[in-house]
Chain A
């Protein structure tokens, strides 16, 4: 099966390492109510209107801020993408189909969950839903794909 967007199998471990480091530090940040900020850096802010428009709009400004949540997010996303899009040990048309089916399932399931949370969760609590929702499509995809792989491996004649 010709696929040109998949990484070699050896990258999968790197993906898991990044993903797990990202999730652990992500939870540490979330449970500290976003107070845990060990790393500070000067960054470029393309535009910023303050918290809910409290200050005037600012464009292209260098600001100093904590970047640990940014690093954690990027680790989860890059790690998750590598896990999902690196080749299996034996990559064939059936595995390709499982990957595609898992992606479709993950998108549908994610938005179903999001619709439910939009209806039933309000105010600032919904902000937490949005934070998790940045990562759930990837997470659901990885869980579904590995579940299907495991399921089709079992029951040898």
Chain B
């Protein structure tokens, strides 16, 4: 799964630490998500989407090889 958290962060002018604090996770978590090293739980994805006031699908996307399995 990919995401554009980094872009959203830039739009809202937030640092990784700011975003982490707002949704109550560690900065490592934001960092790992942005580098696509960690797939967040549904709860965390929804929290991030809610903070950026966007549908989850606008922030998180399946990668091509993940779609093929459907």
Given A93-B41, A93-B44, A94-B38: A156 and B16 interface contact (C-beta under 8 Å): yes
**A56 on the B face (CB < 8 A):** no
Residue in chain B with minimal CB distance to A97: B38
Total A residues in contact with B, Cβ cutoff 8 Å: 15
**A78 on the B face (CB < 8 A):** no
Residue in chain B with minimal CB distance to A155: B31
Residue in chain B with minimal CB distance to A98: B28
Nearest Cβ on chain A to B37's Cβ, whole angstroms: 7
Residue in chain A with minimal CB distance to B43: A93
Q: Report whether B32 and A152 are in contact in the complex, using a CB–CB cutoff of 8 Å.
A: yes
Nearest Cβ on chain B to A84's Cβ, whole angstroms: 17
Which one of A89, A93, A157 contacts B29 once the chains associate, using CB atoms below 8 Å? A93
Which one of B6, B24, B28 contacts A94 once the chains associate, using CB atoms below 8 Å? B28
Q: Report whether A88 and B6 are in contact in the complex, using a CB–CB cutoff of 8 Å.
A: no
Residue in chain A with minimal CB distance to B41: A93
Q: Interface on B for A, CB 8 Å cutoff?
A: 6, 16, 20, 24-29, 31-34, 37-38, 40-41, 44
